[in-house]
Structure 1
Amino acid sequence: MSYEIWLSFTLLVFLMVLTPGPSILIGMSHALRYGARPTLMTALGDVTANMIQMLIAALGLGAILATSATAFAIVKWCGVAFLLVIGLMSFFRKSKGMRYNTGIETNDRIGYEPVKKRKLFREGFLVAAGNPKAIAFFGALFPQFVDPTAPLALQLLILGVTFVVLDYTFVMIYAMGAARVMPWLVRRGGNNAIGRVSGGVLIVAACLLALIEMPESTAGTRH
């Protein structure tokens, strides 16, 4: 793989992950409620699902989602339902006593809720896994940047690592930005405002996922 091909792939992925999708939005929601540092586990769950999706695409199974309207719809609507459930639970849940670590002293009036790391990882993983376009995308994207005369495994590894690093980075950039807004939200609307905003973000993510259609290249196979 030439440097020019890798650079073109990197630029394309950069533009893709720059636009907030369901994974970035759940990262923002978690950062608002739990803080930026715990959201590292959300991003880890996201990229873990992405790596599995890349493997599935590499094995050729991505063609099933790319050509089967039924399989695509099942995965998509399961993802939509999951986002809606956790979004509504967050929106209507009453805030518990939280603590906000300022780095100097602890202020018990505002702050982040405690959370288990495996919960954040699980939700980040399930949201990413519930996006059927990812597998179809990986199956369609990677071949465009692969040199058939060079070792395939190494090229796929380079492309996969590049995607994971950029995706993880942008999930955390958006999450850290959301976390900085949290104290302002608390001062404006109280601790319950965090639940309403984070829940609303997840509901928006569900709506975005619901709007996802099968790749245009397979439009003729949908009917």
Structure 2
Amino acid sequence: MALHTWWLFVGAVFLLSGTPGPNMLHIMTRSVDMGLRRSIAAMAGCLTAVVIVLAASAAGLTTLLLALPGAFEVIRYLGVAYLLFLGIKAWRADVAPVDVGGGAGVGGGALSPGLSRGAVFRGGFLIGISNPKLILFAVAFLPQFINPAKAQVPQFAILVGSFAVIEAMWYGVYALGGRSLSRHLGRPNVKRAFNRATGAIFMGFGLMLLKVKPA
């Protein structure tokens, strides 16, 4: 892989990952509710899903999946259903003020009652893995940067690793943004407006996925 090809990939992924989407919105809301450090489990879940799908693309599994009749449609509708569920849940969420005191700082932030780090990780993973746009990216976009005349495994490893680093960087940016936003959510009416805006955005993402078609 030529260096200029890698830089082109990095530039495209930097812009793509920075665009608000379900993963970034999920990370930001987790940071608002739990604090920056506790939202790392959600970041890890989202990132794990991204790496698995991209690695599957490298192995040719997503191409096989898209070749199976109806497989993509099943994934697409599952993704839509999950995002709509998250949107409704956020819309109806508790409007108790966000604790921005000493315990909810960058290093603190209590987990929601009964919500373990494993559950937070699983939530992030489901957000990432249920988005068929990631599969389309892995199948239609990623292979364009591979030189078929050279060993493909090292090239895929470089691209997937680069994507993961850039994606993780943007997770941090959105999590910090969520922490800053939490300072303004001390009043129930403001928190209610935030919850409903978040819910509407999640539901909007879900409805947008209905228009996604295989390349």
Tell me the TM-score normalized by structure 2: 0.83
> In the alignment, which residue of structure 1 is the partner of 2:32?
32
C-alpha separation in 2, matches of 1:69 and 1:206:
27
The alpha-carbon distance between structure 1 residues 195 and 83, as it changes in their structure 2 partners (threshold 3 A), is: farther
What is the correspondence of 1:22-101 to structure 2 with a 5 Å cutoff? Answer: 22-64=22-64, 66=66, 70-95=70-95, 99-101=99-101
Structure 2 residue ranges without an equivalent (≥5): none
> In the alignment, which residue of structure 2 is the partner of 1:181?
181
- Mapped contact 1:28–1:198 kept (Cα < 8 A): no
Q: Kindly indicate whether residue 203 of structure 2 is the aligned counterpart of residue 206 of structure 1.
A: yes
Structure 2 counterpart of 1:43, which letter? M
C-alpha separation in 2, matches of 1:142 and 1:97:
43
Identity within the alignment, %: 27
> In the alignment, which residue of structure 2 is the partner of 1:152?
152
- Mapped contact 1:43–1:168 kept (Cα < 8 A): yes
Greater CA deviation, 9-18 or 35-44? 35-44
> In the alignment, which residue of structure 2 is the partner of 1:137?
137
The alpha-carbon distance between structure 1 residues 57 and 195, as it changes in their structure 2 partners (threshold 3 A), is: farther
SS of structure 1 residue aligned to 2:36: coil
Task: Please list every run of at least 4 consecutive aligned residues from structure 1 whose deviation after the TM superposition is greater than 6 angstroms.
Answer: none
C-alpha separation in 2, matches of 1:70 and 1:146:
28
Q: Kindly indicate whether residue 36 of structure 2 is the aligned counterpart of residue 5 of structure 1.
A: no
Q: How many residues align?
A: 208
C-alpha separation in 2, matches of 1:86 and 1:44:
19
The alpha-carbon distance between structure 1 residues 201 and 180, as it changes in their structure 2 partners (threshold 3 A), is: same
Deviations 1:58-93 (A, max 9, x none): 222322554567322321222222233233233323
Deviations 1:147-194 (A, max 9, x none): 2232211111100011011111112211211221112121xx33x743
- Mapped contact 2:133–2:212 kept (Cα < 8 A): yes
SS of structure 1 residue aligned to 2:185: helix
C-alpha separation in 2, matches of 1:28 and 1:195:
16
SS of structure 2 residue aligned to 1:38: coil
Tell me the TM-score normalized by structure 1: 0.81
The alpha-carbon distance between structure 1 residues 145 and 133, as it changes in their structure 2 partners (threshold 3 A), is: same
Root-mean-square deviation over aligned CA pairs: 2.6
Deviation at 1:29, TM superposition (A): 1.4
- Mapped contact 1:29–1:202 kept (Cα < 8 A): no
The alpha-carbon distance between structure 1 residues 135 and 81, as it changes in their structure 2 partners (threshold 3 A), is: same
C-alpha separation in 2, matches of 1:22 and 1:72:
19
Deviations 1:122-156 (A, max 9, x none): 11110111111212211222221112232211111
Greater CA deviation, 67-76 or 5-14? 67-76
